[in-house]
Amino acid sequence: MRLKTTITHLMPALWLTFPVSGFTAGDMTAKQAIEVVVNLGNKDNQLRFYPSSLQFETGKLYKLVIKNPSNQKHYFTAEDMSRAVFTRKVQVVSQANETIAEVKGHISEIEVYPGGTAEWWFVPVKTLKSSRLHCTIKGHAEAGMQGNISIK
């Protein structure tokens, strides 16, 4: 009777001392982020994403740096991707490369103004075969401002 009680009391301590590998993966949002840069258009105002194809992997923390080097505003819209990731935060970066705003919560699209940069920090939690990336400004996707995103 007494022995049984002791063992029961020891159980939580044992779990803490010997975590089962793979069971306690830790805080995935606290890992070192993998940086991926995507440009919305270019200096010649071409209506393209550079690159237009993005690949991610589940369980890794990404910092997607969305830059707009063009003279007009653009959207990074990826509805399916937004539902397949856990967003840690979005940071708005100034021209001097200082973080000037941080947004938390679910994100479905990001609009970046000429010369601006936004960083989308997320962890993919679901796989995605090939989902649409596009700019929602009238005529932009039709002119070529679209791409695809996959998560493996």
Whichever of 25 and 143 has its CB closer to Cu ion, that residue is 143
**Which residue from 36, 107, 54, 104 is spatially nearest to 77, judged by alpha carbons?**
107
Whichever of 28 and 137 has its CB closer to Cu ion, that residue is 137
The number of residues that bind Cu ion (CB under 5 A) is: 5
Segment near Cu ion (CB under 5 A), from 5-13, 22-30, 90-98, 138-146? 138-146
Q: What are the CA-CA distances from residue 2 to residues 5, 8, 9, 12, 22 (Å)? A: 5, 10, 11, 18, 33
Binding mask 45-84 for Cu ion (x = CB under 5 A): -----------------------------x----------
For residue 66, the minimal CB distance to Cu ion (Å) is 12
User: d(Cα 103, Cα 93) in Å, to the nearest integer?
Assistant: 12
- For 19-55, give the DSSP string: PPTTT----GGGSPPEEEEEEES-TT----EESSEEE
Whichever of 88 and 148 has its CB closer to Cu ion, that residue is 148
Using CB under 5 A, list all residues that contact Cu ion: 74, 135, 137, 140, 145
